[in-house]
Structure 1
Amino acid sequence: MNATTVDARGSLIAAIFLGVGLMAAVDEIIFHQVLAWHHFFDRSTLAVSLLSDGLLHAAELLMLAAGFRLFLTLSRRGALSRMHAWAGLCFGAGGFQLFDGLVNHKLLRLHQVRYVDQLWPYDLAWNGFGALLLVIAYLIWQRARRETIDQ
């Protein structure tokens, strides 16, 4: 691959890592720390809950570091596809959000969005936002694919 060839797949993958890391950071900072609505694992002691948040934070930082490394490598080579990167960012963020809402909240019951009597509005907003990001990602990706084919 020469320096002028765009790497659509690599751009998508790099930005998926960034999207997952970014959404995990938003979840960790806003919902775990600022609002204190939940921890990653709420079914034990506070010490275990805080440890689980720390492990989530470490994983989030690894995803961000890997994504930035891949992104910078593509950028330096002049091989970055901006549209594929935007699609990847939304795929990663939406995928994380929906996985967290469906698997962590409902299937594994590691925690809930918030511990209230009427949980469904929070679940709807949480999962709806993840699904919306995935729809946006798909639309951007389709446009990026068309533009890549036209070049």
Structure 2
Amino acid sequence: MTPPDRPVTASDRHIETRTSLVVCALIGVAVMAAVDEIVFHQILHWHHFYDRSTTAVGLLSDGLLHTAELLLLVAGFFLYADLRRRHALAPAHARAGFFLGLGTFQLFDGIVDHKLLRLHQIRYGVDVTPYDWAWNISAVILLLTGAVLALRAVRASGAGPLP
């Protein structure tokens, strides 16, 4: 820790690669939840988070999802700001984490929420197969993007694999 009257030098910095990745993954999850909730729940009216009850329960479930995503986003940005303040942010790892978070939410929603738990489908009244494929393929693309960025970040930092 440096005294307040002395500027931070390179030797004072401890870059936190794993924390940067995890914090930005949380932000990525929150952003993708927000995109899903805003676009598919509110704008397109394709589904609610929980569609196996009344419309009122569906709207309540959307509100709870929105609350969770907002809390996660705020917490993620506070943690991100702390990393920046301490000069501990690893930007390349943070970018990788963001894409991994986006893809993780998308794939979890597509497999667990849509198929295993059947909380809702992407859309009703149509053949959902092309929607499911598009949803899950986009998740895999986001995850692969995050994985490639993470590998590049690890190689560039020379730190070895992430713990």
Q: Structure 1 length normalisation: TM-score?
A: 0.96
Deviation sequence 1:74-133 (CA, Å, 0-9, x none): 001111111100111011110000000000000000000111332111000101111100
* Gap runs ≥5 in structure 2: 2-10
Q: Among residues 102, 107, 114, which one is paired with 2:111 in the alignment?
A: 102
CA distance in 1, matches of 2:95, 2:130: 29
Residue 70 (1) aligns with residue 74 (2): no
Residues matched between the structures, number = 150
Aligned twin of 2:5 = none
Which letter maps to 1:59?
A
After TM superposition, the runs of 4+ consecutive aligned structure 1 residues lying more than 2 A away are none
From the two aligned structures, give the one with the greater helix fraction.
Answer: 1
CA distance in 1, matches of 2:148, 2:125: 35
CA distance in 2, matches of 1:41, 1:3: 49
Q: Structure 2 length normalisation: TM-score?
A: 0.89
CA distance in 1, matches of 2:136, 2:69: 20
Q: Tell me the CA shift for residue 139 of structure 1.
A: 0.2
Q: Tell me the CA shift for residue 64 of structure 1.
A: 0.2
Bigger Rg over Cα: 2
CA distance in 1, matches of 2:83, 2:34: 24
Q: Tell me the CA shift for residue 147 of structure 1.
A: 1.0
**What secondary structure, in the 3-state scheme, does the structure 1 residue paired with 2:21 have?**
helix
* Gap runs ≥5 in structure 1: none
